[in-house]
Amino acid sequence: MSKPSAADLVPAPEARRVSPNFITDVIDEDLRAGRHTRVVTRFPPEPNGYAHLGHAFASYLDFMTAQDYGGVCHLRMDDTNPEGETQEYADSIIRDMQWVGWDTSRLFYASDYYEQLYQFAVQLIQKGLAYVESVSAEEMARLRGTAETPGTPSPYRNRGVQENLDLFRRMRAGEFKNGEHALRAKIDLAHPNFKLRDPVLYRILHASHYRTGDTWCIYPMYDFAHPISDALEGITHSMCSLEFIDNRAIYDWLMDNLFPAKETGRTPPRQYEFGRRSMEYTVVSKRKLRRLVREGVVKGWDDPRMPTISAMRRRGVTPESVRAFASQIGVSRTNRTVDLAMFENAVRDDLNLRAPRVMAVMRPLKVVLQNLGEERLLSLPYWPQQETSSADGKVPLPNGERVPGERAVREVPLTRELVIEREDFSANPPKGFKRLTPGGTVRLRGAGIIRCDEVVTGADGEPTELRVTLLGEDAKASGVIHWVSASRGVKAEFRLFDRLFTVPEPDSEAAQFDPEQPGHEDDTQPVNTDFMRFVNPNSLVVTQGLVEPSVAKEPASARYQFERAGYFWRDPVDSRDTALVFNRIITLKDTWGKKAEAAEPKAESKPRPEKKVETPAAPVARPALSSEQEAVFSRLVKQGVSENDAHLLAREPQLAAYLEGAGGKRLGELAPWVVNDLGTAIREGGNRVGVEDLAALVALVSEGSISARIAKDVLAEAQTSGEAPARIVERKGLRVVSDEGQLRSAIQGVMDANPAKVSEYRGGKKGLMGFFTGQVMRATNGQADPKAVARLLGEMLG
């Protein structure tokens, strides 16, 4: 069989899934020139967190480029840094990549190459191209020189080969402490690219690896392990983001010295850099995502408000829409920021074609059809406009079946008592109101026209029931509203998710250097503490209501468009057949008031004007309060409760009564816990934490004795056991460690274990303060007082 020609290997423009770009131009030329006969790419995440939407774009580029050329793509865990990498993260990445739609059968781990990497390092030593360095990290940095002056050779740069081999062997054997020695490449101390000024290839790190355990105490640096892993796997084109452009020089140096084409008989892989894609209204730094999880802003890595792929899956986003979004972004040589609306529109476009229409009422108001006799069973179309999900002309059902040439319908019971959305009735309608009013008419979707004859109000003057008459079809209606049978509808909880942040760039003040990317093991990025103040207080609104009974018969994986409310599906974690929970996947329209052109990519390289944001950009409209509810609202606000919490409490007497049992003390601090953590238990009558016990727990948080995360865990345990939360804290010894002696001991232990980093910090790398803080917190199981730690670290590090 003859080999395929270059023309056979280069796909036609119309057959490409990845739009032609500067990287595909290189691949086309390599194939035409015969440098490669098959394209092999790789997607190499570091397993130190969950994959996010940025990874969706990068993986699309790697996997789909290979597919366009009939090649293959490897999924490789670049797990060369044992600190922070876990099996949980690796498993989550594999699971997410499979869900997106990629073939993960070619799965590799850099840690599988540790022995080979060690032997390649030995080869460099034998060739006189690497040496064991024995100066401190601080001195090493000084000897590298500056942009204006060349570096100075270390006194150990000219060690003999045998001495270097012996020291490197002893490094592996564990004879030395962290930072005592390092293996450096011998390249060019005068090179303008600092990456080539004798970079470190191996460092001593006595840390257990999640896959290799304690087998190794020396670990390869990213710049050494990554290129060699590519070569071992036969990668042809190594694509990475723009911050690695200077690292390419090391990549090429290693290929030229370890895998020269004249000896191997094949062209070694080369690195190509593309611009990163960040997204507005979110953060993707794993450090910041971990903080959101740790401080309880979200309820885990898969919280549907997170930008992780696991969160998108739980929210109900489809893999097809994620791939569609990734395909629209485009590849360029510059970093760019993409408006979140581009992703949201990709989700809407996908769901509009697959989600049948049904009705759900999320804030119910009772309606009585006075002239309705027996219950009627209506046959309503899933697709009122007969939309089709594909060009085959078949209409989809919720269970995934397709019905050709006929209307896909479901049975909806029309009973004497119904519920409508509370906002669909107004006793004093504003101008242009086209829903139900006293004496007015409106059409019930699929059921006919009704006239409101009587409004029954409660003691607070607010409507509790509407008594209406079902009219004939010759009557006129001001608008159309949806409804659900009050007696036959299914109770459900609705979680209305929105953007997690209120401004486009919540972390715009953060340093550009990002240690979350592979190759930045020194973890020196300063933590930006400002982004948390832009968290959207309305990113999750929970309501209780009814959904039409047809959904109970359909699979849990069915996605729906709840009329006028958005696209929904059942939460795969919390929803039960006996207690349905629906996540809003996305609203029907962009509610953030962005102009259409804002969805186009924006150049990140251009400085943006400073934005002053004092209030959320898109507050959620609140239902109107009755006069009695207004009084409760005003009283709570005066007592220090936030307006958002006060508004919800005013509408839920059970929650308000529980809170006010505190006697007016610290209500502002207690309210968020009542609303967010105890609300469901109080509503369902299963709460086992008294308000005084809650107050005692919150007091511990306020005084700094425990963290908010610990408090949430304790509260969950108290709900199960009935034990007082404060007692659990004492029994388990969960209080924050603030004793100066204990903290000094913990800090000294961290410093003793990381002498190289201590030297680097004292040499000017002040960003390492974040590293030391994290190590101390880890050593104290997260119980150290952060303020005391910061003060003592500053003192002890000097």
Q: Hey, which residues are catalytic here?
A: 46, 276, 286
DSSP notation for 537-567: TTSEEEEEEEE-GGGGGS-TT-EEEETTTEE
The SS3 of residue 269 is: coil
711 vs 343: CA distance, rounded Å: 35
Query: What 8-state DSSP symbol labels residue 52?
Result: B
Please answer whether residues 189 and 145 qualify as being in contact, where contact means their C-beta atoms are separated by less than 8 angstroms: yes
Alpha helix ranges (H) inside 137-182:
137-143, 161-173
Among 234, 653, 671, residue whose Cα is nearest residue 462: 653
Among 410, 402, 389, 373, residue whose Cα is nearest residue 547: 410
Please answer whether residues 54 and 249 qualify as being in contact, where contact means their C-beta atoms are separated by less than 8 angstroms: no
For the chain, give the number of residues: 798
Strand pairing class (394-396; 580-586): unpaired
Please answer whether residues 730 and 704 qualify as being in contact, where contact means their C-beta atoms are separated by less than 8 angstroms: no
Among 795, 792, 771, 783, residue whose Cα is nearest residue 178: 771
**E strand or H helix at 20:** none
Among 724, 723, 698, residue whose Cα is nearest residue 710: 698
**Cα separation of the two ends of the chain:** 71
Please answer whether residues 367 and 417 qualify as being in contact, where contact means their C-beta atoms are separated by less than 8 angstroms: yes
Handedness of CA 110, 115, 116, 122 (dihedral sign): positive
Q: C-alpha distances in angstroms, 266 versus 72, 226, 262, 269? A: 18, 19, 8, 9
506 vs 510: CA distance, rounded Å: 9
519 vs 135: CA distance, rounded Å: 22
383 vs 678: CA distance, rounded Å: 39
The SS3 of residue 674 is: helix
Please answer whether residues 495 and 571 qualify as being in contact, where contact means their C-beta atoms are separated by less than 8 angstroms: yes
Q: C-alpha distances in angstroms, 69 versus 4, 12, 36, 234, 370? A: 12, 10, 12, 16, 68
The SS3 of residue 695 is: helix
* Residue whose token pair is 């999880």: 293
711 vs 726: CA distance, rounded Å: 9
Please answer whether residues 419 and 468 qualify as being in contact, where contact means their C-beta atoms are separated by less than 8 angstroms: no
Return the bridge partners of 7, or none.
Answer: none
Q: What burial class does residue 555 get, using C-beta atoms within 10 Å of its C-beta: 0-12 exposed, 13-18 middle, 19+ buried?
A: exposed
- Tokens representing 338 are 């993409």
Please answer whether residues 226 and 259 qualify as being in contact, where contact means their C-beta atoms are separated by less than 8 angstroms: no
The SS3 of residue 294 is: helix
